[in-house]
C-alpha cells in the first residue's frame, strides 16, 4: 500500500534548533504575545526579535519535500513534543512551500493533522488519533524524527519510524528512500513521480501541471502534474490502453477519469508527434520530459499591441492564424492528429522582422484522431472534454481552413472583449462578417 500520512517532529527535524518557550520572547522589549517575537530573516532563518541569539533555521530540503507530499496526495501531519504550539504554528506560518497549484503558501496551511504541543510520552496517543481521523493503517503512516525515543510509535503501533540526523535534519534522500521503500519492492513505477529529474525555473502553470526548464537539457522542458497517486497510474494504464488503440473512452461525470483521460491524451499525442522524450507511456509516474518548442509568443511582438480594430493588427493576426492552420493541416497529414486548441497561447512563431513566417504548435493535451484521404479531412471518434468532439465530421481543404479561421478569430476577439479592449457590442458586430479573414 502507498504511504497515506507523513508526519514530522519539528525541532532538529524540520529545522535546526529548538523553539524553546523559556528562551524565546524573554529579551529586552519583548512583545507580550510570545509568537509575535518570531521574526523572519529570509526563507530559512527565523530569529527572536527580543534576543537575536535565539534562532532556528529550516533545513534546505523541507520546502521541496512538502511540495512532493502535496503532489502525491499524501496527508501531512505534525507530531511534536515541543510544548509551545503557538510558537511552532507561527514558525510554520513563516516558512513556505509550493502547493499543488504551484502557489507559495505557508506550510501550516498544508498541515492536515496538527499534534503540536504534546508530551513525548503522548505521541502514541497522537498517532492513534491520526489513524482514526485518516482511516489509514498505522503501517501506512511514516514518522520522521531525530529523537530515537520516538521509535516507540513503531514498536507499539506499527507506524514506520524514520530517525533522521539531528545535524542534517530531514533530507530529500531520507524522504524519497522511505517513500519508495514503503512500496514493498513492487513495481517502482507505482511510486508517484518516480525517477522525476531535477527541474529548473517554472515557465508556466495550467490546470493540471507546471512546466519547468530542464537544468540538464536546454532543448527540453519538464512537466510535473499537480496531483498523482498509485491509483492514478493504474487507471491511467487502463484508459491509455483504450485510446492508444484508437477507441473512444467516455469518462462521464467522473472527475478523476476526466483528469486522467486528458493526461492520457497528452501522452499519446506527444508520443505521436515525436515530442515525448521520457518516460515511456507505460512508465509514466506523474512527470514527463518533452521537446522545448522554439519561437516567439505573438503577444510579445510590437504589432500585437496595436488596437484590435486597427488594420495593422488585423493583417498581422490574420497572417498568424493562417500559419497556425498550416501547422494543424500538416500535423493531420503527418501524424493523424488534429490539434483542437490552437489559440495563440498554444502557438509559437518564427519571426522575420515584425512578421510571423512559421507557426509551431505546443500543448497537445487536446488533440484528436483525424485523417486526410486526399479529398477530405475526416475526424475520428476520440471523445474530448469541454468542447464538442464533432466525431466523424468531414471537411474539404477550404472548409477545414474556414472552420479553424472562424474559431481563431472568434476566440481572439472574445478574449479582447473580456479584457475590455473592445466593447461586446462592437466585438459581436465585428464578428458578423468574417469573409476577409479567409483570404490569405
Q: Name the grid cell of 72.
A: 502525491
Are 298 and 349 spatial neighbours (Cβ–Cβ below 8 Å)? yes
Dihedral sign from CA coordinates of 353, 356, 360, 364: positive
Strand ranges across the sheet with 296-297:
296-297, 347-352, 355-361
334 is in an annotated binding site: no
**Which residues pair with residue 339 across a beta bridge?**
367
Rounded CA-CA distance 55/191 in Å is 37
352's enclosing H/E stretch is strand 347-352
Q: Name the grid cell of 29.
A: 522589549
Rg (CA), the chain: 27
Q: Which residue has the cell 480594430?
A: 309
Rounded CA-CA distance 186/195 in Å is 15
Q: Hey, is 415 helix, strand or coil?
A: helix
381 secondary structure, DSSP code: -
Q: What DSSP string describes 245-278?
A: TT-----TT-HHHHHHHHHHHHHHHHHHTT-EEE
In three-state form (DSSP H/G/I as H, E/B as E, the rest C), the secondary structure along 330-343 is HHHHHHCEEECCCC
**Which residues pair with residue 142 across a beta bridge?**
6, 160
Q: Which residue has the cell 505534525?
A: 78
Rounded CA-CA distance 61/16 in Å is 12
Count Cβ atoms below 10 Å from residue 55 Cβ, excluding itself. Answer: 18
Of 74, 3, 90, nearest to 39 by C-alpha is 90
Binding-site residues, please?
223
Q: Which residues are annotated as a binding site for ATP?
A: 223
Amino acid at each position: 500500500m502507498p504511504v497515506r500520512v507523513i508526519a514530522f517532529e519539528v525541532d532538529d527535524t524540520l529545522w535546526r534548533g529548538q523553539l524553546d518557550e523559556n528562551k524565546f520572547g524573554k529579551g529586552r522589549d519583548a512583545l507580550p504575545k510570545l509568537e509575535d517575537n518570531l521574526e523572519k530573516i529570509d526563507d530559512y532563518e527565523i530569529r527572536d526579535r527580543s534576543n537575536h541569539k535565539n534562532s532556528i533555521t529550516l533545513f534546505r530540503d523541507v520546502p521541496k519535500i512538502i511540495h512532493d507530499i502535496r503532489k502525491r496526495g499524501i496527508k501531512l501531519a505534525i507530531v511534536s513534543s515541543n510544548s509551545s504550539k503557538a510558537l511552532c504554528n507561527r514558525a510554520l506560518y513563516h516558512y513556505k512551500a509550493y502547493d499543488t497549484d504551484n502557489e507559495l503558501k505557508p506550510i501550516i496551511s498544508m498541515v492536515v493533522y496538527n499534534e503540536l504541543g504534546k508530551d513525548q510520552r503522548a505521541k502514541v496517543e497522537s498517532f492513534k488519533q491520526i489513524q482514526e481521523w485518516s482511516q489509514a493503517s498505522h503501517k501506512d503512516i511514516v514518522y520522521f524524527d531525530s529523537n530515537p525515543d520516538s521509535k516507540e510509535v513503531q514498536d507499539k503501533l506499527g507506524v514506520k519510524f524514520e530517525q533522521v540526523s539531528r545535524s542534517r535534519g530531514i533530507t530529500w534522500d531520507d524522504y524519497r528512500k522511505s517513500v519508495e521503500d514503503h512500496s514493498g519492492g513492487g513495481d517502482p513505477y507505482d511510486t508517484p513521480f518516480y525517477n522525476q529529474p531535477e527541474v529548473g525555473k517554472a515557465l508556466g502553470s495550467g490546470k493540471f501541471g507546471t512546466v519547468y526548464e530542464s537544468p540538464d537539457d536546454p532543448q527540453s522542458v519538464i512537466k510535473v502534474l499537480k496531483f498523482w497517486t498509485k491509483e492514478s497510474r493504474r487507471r491511467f494504464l487502463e484508459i491509455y490502453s483504450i485510446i492508444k488503440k484508437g477507441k473512444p473512452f467516455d469518462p462521464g461525470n467522473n472527475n478523476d477519469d476526466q483528469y486522467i483521460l486528458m493526461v492520457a491524451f497528452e501522452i499519446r499525442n506527444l508520443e505521436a508527434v515525436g515530442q515525448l522524450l521520457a518516460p515511456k507511456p507505460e512508465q509514466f509516474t506523474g512527470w514527463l520530459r518533452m521537446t522545448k518548442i522554439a519561437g516567439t509568443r505573438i503577444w510579445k511582438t510590437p504589432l500585437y499591441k496595436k488596437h484590435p480594430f486597427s488594420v495593422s493588427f488585423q493583417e498581422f493576426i490574420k497572417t498568424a492564424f493562417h500559419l497556425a492552420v498550416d501547422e494543424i493541416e500538416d500535423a493531420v497529414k503527418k501524424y493523424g492528429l488534429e490539434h483542437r486548441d490552437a489559440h495563440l497561447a498554444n502557438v509559437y512563431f518564427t519571426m522575420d522582422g515584425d512578421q510571423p513566417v512559421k507557426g509551431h504548435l505546443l500543448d497537445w493535451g487536446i488533440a484528436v484522431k483525424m485523417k486526410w484521404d486526399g479529398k477530405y479531412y475526416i475526424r475520428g471518434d476520440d471523445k474530448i472534454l469541454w468542447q464538442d468532439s464533432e466525431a466523424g465530421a468531414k471537411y474539404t481543404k477550404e472548409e477545414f481552413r474556414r472552420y479553424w479561421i472562424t474559431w481563431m478569430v472568434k476566440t481572439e476577439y472574445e478574449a479582447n472583449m473580456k479584457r475590455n479592449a473592445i466593447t461586446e457590442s462592437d466585438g459581436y458586430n465585428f464578428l458578423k462578417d468574417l469573409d476577409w479573414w479567409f483570404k490569405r
